Homo-oligomer: A and B are copies of this chain.
Amino acid sequence: MSDEHKQPSTISDIAQLSGVSNRTVSRVINRSSKVGEATREKVQRVIDAQSYRPNARARGLAGGRSYLLGLIYDNPDALFIDEAQRGVLNVCRELGYELVIHPCGETDELCSEVVGSVKRSKLDGVIVLPPLSEDHNLFGALAQEKVPYVRLASVALDTSDRVVVSNERSAVAEMAEYLVGLGHRRIGYITGPAGRRSTRERLEGFSDALERLGCAVREEMIVQGAYSFESGIECARQLLAQPEPPTAIFASNDDMAAGVIQTATEMGLSVPRDLSVAGFDDSALATRIRPALTTIRRPVRAMARLAAGKLIAAIEDRTHDARLGVFLDPELIIRASTRAIDPAARMTEGGARVPS
């Protein structure tokens, strides 16, 4: 008899079925406050019964919006991207938005091109992933063009900054405490490429913590890497060739840490017996090399979810929800590549080991 299972029901169908006007159904859909409670419930029931879903195209056309969010990134770390995508999608689905992805590393696109592309695609807003998210030019341009955006980053710039922050400073501080607690005093540090904000945050967080713990931070224990496996190898060589080599090395990402382990092993050092090694990222690599890597994991998916929520709040003009930055703490993950320092080894300055 009834044909309530027809696929493409429209707002008018719902209006007729619930005995109200299109306008009222629209109000219910858009959570307008100006609807009587009784009416709202009645209409909502019909909507549910028909499993009606408003047509995003029509909504976009009429309302001047697209219900499309963009995810912008140049990050080469596929795992990070994947996590971020899934996090954003969770929220998108819930709130009726679609996610459009916008990788832009390879073509070396300029900010203006990114912004232009966003406007052409009529995206309602964008989420920017690191390290691109740390580029002032880009989010400056977005702000200027009034494109709503939220960044994922390692630090907030000011109170007006729309950003979800993973508190990397405190995370690396925790790592420093952990290593010192293990008895390490000569700790090598491999930085990321110069000029990146996260490079600075991680280094400062680490060395500040070291100082607080009463460990002098020696210049020669800090070498600059490039977040690549090869640079990890190179930096490890430098670090381990010193007269007083470190007993532990913290590489500021996992790729470099893998390079360190590789080099140490080649030099005849056993990890973690002779050298503790830790990384940052908890990448796929971390559990697939031996020893498995002690590292730091950012709550990427949770960050992405929060970012999406904030972004949509901003778009829908619930500015109070969107205003401030959000801060999340990364997690220290202890695996097999770090270990308490061997007192015997320590006395021999990292040279030939005396059996304990």
Contact residues of A with B, CB < 8 Å?
Answer: 7, 53, 55-58, 60-61, 66, 68, 78-79, 81-82, 85-86, 89, 98-101, 103, 106, 119-122, 229, 255, 258, 262, 265-266, 283-285, 287-290
Contact = CB atoms under 8 A, between A and B. Distances in A.
A8 B265 CA distance: 61
A103 B120 contact: no
Contacts of A122: 55-57
Nearest to A100: B98
Contact of A81 (B82, B229, B284, B288): B82
30 contacts: A53-B120, A55-B61, A55-B122, A56-B121, A56-B122, A57-B57, A57-B58, A57-B66, A61-B61, A78-B79, A78-B81, A78-B284, A81-B82, A85-B103, A89-B103, A98-B98, A98-B121, A99-B100, A100-B100, A229-B287, A255-B288, A258-B288, A258-B289, A262-B290, A266-B290, A283-B284, A284-B284, A284-B285, A285-B285, A288-B289
A122 B54 CA distance: 11
A170 to B, nearest CB: 27
A101 B103 contact: no
A-B pairs, top 7 by smallest CB distance, nearest first, are A78-B78, A78-B82, A57-B60, A57-B61, A78-B79, A57-B57, A98-B100
| A-side interface mostly | helix
Total identical chains: 2
A283 B58 CA distance: 42
Contacts of A103: 82, 85-86, 89
A221 B176 CA distance: 47
Contacts of A284: 78, 283-285
A99 B53 CA distance: 20
Contacts of A258: 288-289
A270 to B, nearest CB: 13
A89 B120 CA distance: 15
Nearest to A258: B288
A293 to B, nearest CB: 11
Contact of A229 (B79, B283, B288): B288
Contacts of A98: 68, 98, 100, 121
Given A78-B79, A82-B82, A285-B284, A89 B61 contact: no
A121 B92 CA distance: 12
A265 B289 CA distance: 12
